[in-house]
């Protein structure tokens, strides 16, 4: 097997992975599960979805490690350590973002114990969400692309991740607009999706009643 075949296999696997998880995250699937399982669907959906996302991604990591690949570059010191430092900062910022989002709700644990598992988490316009609509994706991309060691397999994986984050965030926003209406639509108009821009910072209109 050559390097081109490795890239094709990675692309096909990730395409199937992205299609599956976008479908599982759709409102049509959620509504079908509610019809089939009633309130239990809202209680268990998020946790099961997250577990499936992790388990079905493990083969991608194995493929990246085992398929033939070529080293494209290794950044020398001291620039390597500077890149690692920024990667660590991005990880820390992603952790802060999870706390701002509500980490237990994000993982699906809150829904297991709450009396109203169908309730959505409140819209969050605080912290990093003031500057980009999907800070978790932004910090993940920073972490990926500042890897000081790049191979052909990791390059194709990072390109696929970038496309998945961009396309997937669009699907996610359509669901959010359907659930939260004009408030979230206004937020989308005023805040960049993934890349912060000078002068673009979200401040809710007083009429919405949302906390900044």
The pTM of the full predicted model, rounded to 2 decimals, is: 0.87
% the chain with pLDDT above 90 = 61
Whether residue 211 is predicted with pLDDT greater than 70 in this model: the reply is no
Residue 212 has a pLDDT of 35
Cis peptide before 78 (omega within 30 of 0): yes
* pLDDT tens readout for residues 130-172: 999 999 999 999 999 999 999 999 999 999 999 999 998 988 8
Residue 204 has a pLDDT of 67
* pLDDT tens readout for residues 5-35: 999 999 999 999 989 988 988 888 988 999 9
Region class of 199: left (phi > 0), else alpha (psi between -120 and 50), else beta: left
Q: What's the mean per-residue pLDDT of the chain? A: 89
Task: Tell me how far apart the alpha carbons of residues 122 and 75 are, in angstroms, rounded to a whole number.
Answer: 42
Neighbours of 16 (CB within 10 A): 11
């Amino acid at each position: 097997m050559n390097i081109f075949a490795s890239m094709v296999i990675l692309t096909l696997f990730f395409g199937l992975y992205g299609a599956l998880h976008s479908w599982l995250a759709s409102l049509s699937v959620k509504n079908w599960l509610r019809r089939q399982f009633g309130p239990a669907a809202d209680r268990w959906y998020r946790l099961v979805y997250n577990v499936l996302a992790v388990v079905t991604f493990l083969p991608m990591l194995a493929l990246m490690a085992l398929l033939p690949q070529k080293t494209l570059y290794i950044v020398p010191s001291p620039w390597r350590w500077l890149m690692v430092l920024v990667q660590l900062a991005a990880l820390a910022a992603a952790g802060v973002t999870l706390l701002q989002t509500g980490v237990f709700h994000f993982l699906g644990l809150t829904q297991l114990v709450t009396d109203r598992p169908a309730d959505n988490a409140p819209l969050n316009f605080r912290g990093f969400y003031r500057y980009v609509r999907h800070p978790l994706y932004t910090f993940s991309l920073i972490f990926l692309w500042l890897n000081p060691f790049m191979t052909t397999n990791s390059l194709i994986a990072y390109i696929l991740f970038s496309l998945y984050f961009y396309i997937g965030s669009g699907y996610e926003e359509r669901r959010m607009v359907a659930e939260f209406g004009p408030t979230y639509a206004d937020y989308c108009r005023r805040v960049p999706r993934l890349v912060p821009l000078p002068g673009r910072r979200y401040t809710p209109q007083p009429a919405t009643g949302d906390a900044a």
